[in-house]
């Protein structure tokens, strides 16, 4: 049975709050929705109440959504909702699960909710707190997912995303959740084949299909390139 989700929505625009509230009324498995027009009231609420999902505007008076998120020691799964496209990559720096550009259609909103459900489902299936260690002389590792150990071939992996205390491993066929930081994944995957390109992303270099100024196109996914990782990526691709 799917868990009912508790939502907190923060936006200084009444119409934006009304739209998001109406969208959530059309979504199944919603336990509660708390709406706030300012960050201070929302912060006080979160100090005393648990939330599963935070829908957060960025451009707000007194405290921006980015500043707000940085004050939370253990933030809920967060979706940025904003009219400004240039905040997308900054959202990845803060570990947000999705980025919705206003005006937000219900179809796009529903995709974000499905992404949240998918992550929570992977998380619920994961019940082993110990990461699998790789034998660096092989082409695979065994990882724990639910009650099974899956043989994961390095060549099947396209990229890895860090999200809160977990890492999501993307393959051509599926996603696998591991307990551990994105940094810990660097010790598991061969560094000759995998490279960190962002605080939240590791990629399989040979899976790159297109490289742009600030992003990588890889198996249909857009992966941001962090400023601190760009030079290393350029050098690595030059040497290949």
Q: Which pair of structure tokens corresponds to residue 107?
A: 């179809």
Whether residue 133 is predicted with pLDDT greater than 80 in this model: the reply is no
Whether residue 134 is predicted with pLDDT greater than 60 in this model: the reply is no
Q: What's the mean per-residue pLDDT of the chain?
A: 85
Whether residue 238 is predicted with pLDDT greater than 90 in this model: the reply is no
DSSP characters over 88-130: HHHHHHTT-SEEEESSPPHHHHHHHHHHHHHHHHHHHH----S
Write phi, then psi, for 233 (nearest 5 degrees): -65, -45
Assessment of whether the complete model's pTM goes beyond 0.85: no
Contacts 24+ apart (CB under 8 A), 215-220: 215/89, 218/158, 218/159, 219/158, 219/159, 219/170, 219/172
Q: Which pair of structure tokens corresponds to residue 149?
A: 């150990």
Q: Which pair of structure tokens corresponds to residue 75?
A: 């933030």
Q: Are strands 201-204 and 194-198 parallel, antiparallel or unpaired?
A: antiparallel
Residues 86-96: tens digit of each pLDDT: 766 666 667 88
Closest to 197 measured CA to CA, from 172, 167, 163, 231:
231
Residues 152-163: tens digit of each pLDDT: 889 999 999 998
What domains can you pick out in the chain, each with its CATH number?
5-125 (3.40.50.2300), 140-239 (2.40.50.1020)
Calpha distance 95→11 (Å, rounded)? 20
């Amino acid at each position: 049975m799917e868990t009912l989700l508790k939502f907190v929505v923060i936006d200084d625009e009444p119409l934006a709050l009304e739209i998001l509230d109406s969208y959530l009324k059309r979504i199944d498995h919603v336990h509660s929705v708390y709406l706030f027009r300012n960050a201070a009231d929302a912060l006080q609420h979160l100090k005393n109440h648990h939330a599963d999902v935070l829908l957060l505007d960025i451009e707000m008076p007194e405290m921006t959504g980015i500043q707000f998120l940085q004050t939370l020691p253990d933030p809920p799964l967060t979706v940025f909702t904003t009219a400004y496209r240039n905040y997308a990559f900054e959202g990845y720096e803060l570990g947000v699960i999705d980025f919705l550009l206003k005006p937000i259609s219900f179809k796009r909103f529903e995709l974000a909710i499905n992404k949240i459900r998918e992550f929570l489902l992977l998380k619920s299936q994961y019940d082993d707190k110990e990461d699998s260690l790789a034998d660096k002389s092989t082409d695979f590792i065994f990882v724990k997912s639910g009650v099974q150990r899956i043989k994961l071939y390095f060549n099947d992996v396209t990229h890895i995303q860090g999200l809160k205390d977990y890492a999501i491993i993307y393959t051509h066929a599926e996603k696998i959740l591991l307990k551990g930081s994105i940094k810990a994944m660097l010790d598991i995957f061969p560094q000759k084949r995998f490279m960190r390109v962002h605080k939240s992303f590791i990629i399989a270099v040979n899976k790159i299909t297109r490289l742009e100024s600030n992003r990588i196109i890889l198996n249909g996914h857009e992966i941001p390139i962090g400023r601190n990782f760009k030079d290393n990526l350029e050098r690595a691709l030059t040497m290949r």
